A and B are shown apart, each in its own frame.
Chain A
């Protein structure tokens, strides 16, 4: 009869499995602990590297230097603001003299201007001539301008009358700019 029968063999197998499981669990736990520590350390170092106070210190130094040139700064600001305003004025104001000059160029020699009224929207003109042909030429010129959209966008013939006393035709037109 054998006296060396190992009755604990099954128990040892289970125990080994348990030990192995504990070992893996221990390993995971320690790795996790180290991981948490390393991540924490890295974040801490990154925060320390990002040196905001030194940037702020530099900012304060520059602000101090800028404030020493406060007058120059104010003048520069005003100059820029004035430039913008002047640019805006020059950009928006209408040059009525240019409009009148262009209109006068279209007036035939034998037509005399009796009256002219212009604002930023409308130009009205009264003229007279002894010749209907000259008046017709004038109207043709203006019609061309409207067609080419040169300064005026519309043309209305307000009146065309014959003045017996002056022996001349008087024409009155109105155009939109």
Chain B
């Protein structure tokens, strides 16, 4: 049986009068909770995000400053010379002129007589942009004994363009060596300002200096205008 509750205006007024002082603090408390959850927490998240963004931007700025500093301190003439030396050692394409010159240079220097050989150059316009280097292989008959062949290999190892002797066969009458000349086309690179510019390392500079000591018949090695002018 439902019981009727008789709430008259007087009673309501009494309850209101009795509790009206609680209304303001309770409303404020509720407002604070709402403010905290709806504004402060998102604002705090924004702060963290902004700080993270600022940290990343600062790091990027530092990288850019370093890159700019490297570029400013690097001499373009020195870079050109270094690039020329490196391209002579590791040509950008099939440098058959350089290959033939280095073979004849080594044979003349060691006095060995070369037999007839052929170089399969292939497609000169072929541009492989893969990371690893390509090679041109030659099987070279030489009319010489062990010592002369060995001298030839030593000379060719210290001649540019860079090559590798993979097989040496020395027989009674004739000898054969298998040579592979390296070349590497320019690969595509993602050009982005964000990418850190690295200076030429000391190891790199000493390698370039070492390469200038290699024999080269095709061109004269450019003089390095202060190999360390890049400052690193």
Contacts and interface: CB of A to CB of B under 8 A. Distances in A.
A72 B184 contact: no
Interface in B72-102: 72, 74, 76, 79-80, 82-83, 86-87, 89-90
Contact of A118 (B86, B168, B191): B168
Contacts, number: 194
Contacts of B168: 96, 100, 116-119
Nearest to B72: A69
A104 interface: yes
Contact of B86 (A40, A86, A90, A96): A86
Interface string A67-106: 1010111111111111101110110011111001100100
B71 A72 contact: yes
A36 interface: yes
Nearest to B45: A43
Nearest to B175: A116
A47 B50 contact: yes
A66 interface: yes
Given A93-B164, A118-B167, A76 B28 contact: no
A53 B150 CA distance: 66
B181 to A, nearest CB: 11
Contact of A79 (B83, B165, B169, B193): B83
A139 B89 CA distance: 40
A75 B157 contact: no
A63 interface: yes
B140 to A, nearest CB: 14
Given A29-B28, A62-B61, A76 B74 contact: yes
B162 interface: yes
Interface stretch (A20-28, A148-156, A158-166): A20-28
A56 interface: yes
A162 to B, nearest CB: 19
A91 to B, nearest CB: 10
Nearest to A123: B168
B61 A52 contact: no
Q: Interface range on chain A: under 10, 10 to 19, 20 to 34, or 35 or more?
A: 35 or more
A77 B74 CA distance: 12
A29 B40 contact: no
25 contacts: A28-B25, A28-B29, A36-B35, A43-B47, A47-B50, A50-B51, A51-B54, A52-B57, A58-B61, A62-B67, A63-B64, A75-B76, A75-B83, A77-B189, A80-B198, A81-B187, A82-B89, A82-B184, A83-B200, A86-B207, A95-B157, A97-B151, A100-B146, A116-B169, A118-B167
B95 to A, nearest CB: 14
A176 B22 CA distance: 96
A13 B5 CA distance: 31
B128 to A, nearest CB: 13
Of all A-B residue pairs in the complex, the 8 with the closest CB atoms, nearest first, are A29-B25, A29-B28, A82-B86, A83-B204, A97-B153, A25-B25, A55-B57, A93-B164
Given A22-B22, A50-B51, A72-B71, 20 more contacts: A19-B21, A25-B22, A29-B32, A32-B28, A43-B40, A44-B43, A55-B57, A65-B68, A76-B70, A76-B79, A77-B197, A79-B83, A80-B200, A82-B83, A82-B89, A82-B184, A86-B211, A115-B171, A117-B169, A118-B167
Contacts of A157: none
B207 A55 contact: no
A107 B162 CA distance: 31
A69 B186 CA distance: 20
Given A32-B29, A85-B90, A117-B168, A76 B43 contact: no
A29 B83 contact: no
Contact of A86 (B31, B162, B165, B193): B162
A4 to B, nearest CB: 28
